[in-house]
Amino acid sequence: MAGSAIKLIAGLGNPGTKYDGTRHNAGFWFVDELARRYNGIFKVESRFSGECCKIDIAGSTVWLLKPSTFMNRSGLSVKQLSSFFKISPNEILIAHDELDILPGTVRLKNGGGHGGHNGLRDLHAQIGKDYWRLRLGIGHPGDAKKVADYVLSRPSASDEIEIRRTIDDAADEIERIVIGDMQKVMNTLHTK
């Protein structure tokens, strides 16, 4: 499964120090790791409703974005930046927390439903569903009534280690993701 070159990588999360270490901010953790590896410095860009930086990966210019809107309005920020730079949905990778897979698991996929994830729901409304997703497993609390508190709380120390490990694993594959070699990335990440 070949993909288009990726030109925008957005991490989903909630702004502010109150949410920094929460499960819902796993997407922010991922783009922060890419910025660290590729010497990017995030700057507030009000016209894109978020913090962004431009880095070079595999000889290509890639935008990193952290929406400053709350999770349920993430699509606005992505739409503003992608529209300005004429980036199509299939050239966008969204990194986000995923309740349906366990910590220590990461999955790459294209398209599909939002699965009740408020950030993805807004992305669907703003740019459609044909973007790439990096699904970072955070596990499920086991009761649908506990989901809101669960995603907005910090993971256990052992779960955080597993989440951070999958972020490192995915970051190790970012050059192949950016050039669109998605099947090889899936083969590597999905067998770990």
Active site residue 96: no
Contact indicator for 133, 63 with CB cutoff of 8 Å:
no
Dihedral Cα 152, 154, 156, 157, nearest 10 deg: 150
Tokens of 40: 């990017």
pLDDT value at position 117?
A: 79
6-64: per-residue pLDDT in tens?
999 999 999 999 999 999 999 999 999 999 999 999 999 999 999 999 999 999 999 99
Answer yes or no: is pLDDT of 188 > 80: yes
Residue 161's closest CA among 85, 103, 109? 103
131-172: per-residue pLDDT in tens?
999 999 999 998 989 999 999 999 999 999 999 999 999 999
pLDDT value at position 3?
A: 57
pTM above 0.75, yes or no: yes
74-123: per-residue pLDDT in tens?
999 999 999 999 999 999 999 999 999 999 999 999 988 877 777 889 99
Which is the catalytic residue, given 24, 96, 114, 140?
24
Residue 62's closest CA among 35, 80, 27, 83? 35
Q: What pLDDT band is residue 1 in, cutting at 50, 70 and 90?
A: very low
- Three-state secondary structure call for residue 91: helix
pLDDT value at position 2?
A: 55
Q: What pLDDT band is residue 4 in, cutting at 50, 70 and 90?
A: confident
